Amino acid sequence: MNPSHGATLPSDPKAHHETFPWKHILGFVLSLVLTFAALGLVLSAALPLTAVIVSIVVLAVLQLLVQLLLFMHLTERHGPATHVLTLVFGFFVAFTIVAGSAWIMFTFHATVA
């Protein structure tokens, strides 16, 4: 095959694949730890409500980073413009859902009360 037509040569470093998915196992373990840490914070009721909410938000951001870096292949070099557009769209959708849900809850609560 002609290499100029997108074929991967055996000497290409991108053609090398790991035999054991260490990044996925690390990501899975970190995801479990962060999830159970948030659950433990809520179930223990040892902290004030504000501290629990701040802690959960911090754990959620850490969970987001674990997902993006270890599962979503954000660090790979295949089309960084696509990664940026996908992230921007994802943040837009997440913001729209959270803001819309909050707006509906506060509007509905204000009309009922």
- pTM for the structure as a whole: 0.59
Q: Give the integer Cα–Cα distance in Å for 92 and 110.
A: 26
Q: Which amino acid is located at 91 in the chain?
A: F
Residue 1: inside a domain, yes or no?
no
Residue 97: inside a domain, yes or no?
yes
Residue 14: inside a domain, yes or no?
no
Tens of pLDDT along the chain (113 residues) come to 555 555 555 555 555 566 888 888 998 999 999 999 999 999 987 888 888 888 998 999 899 888 888 877 666 666 667 777 877 888 888 889 988 998 888 888 766 65
Residue 51: inside a domain, yes or no?
yes
Range of the domain at 63: 22-112
Ordered alpha helix ranges (H), the chain? 22-44, 49-66, 80-112
Q: Give the integer Cα–Cα distance in Å for 54 and 61.
A: 11
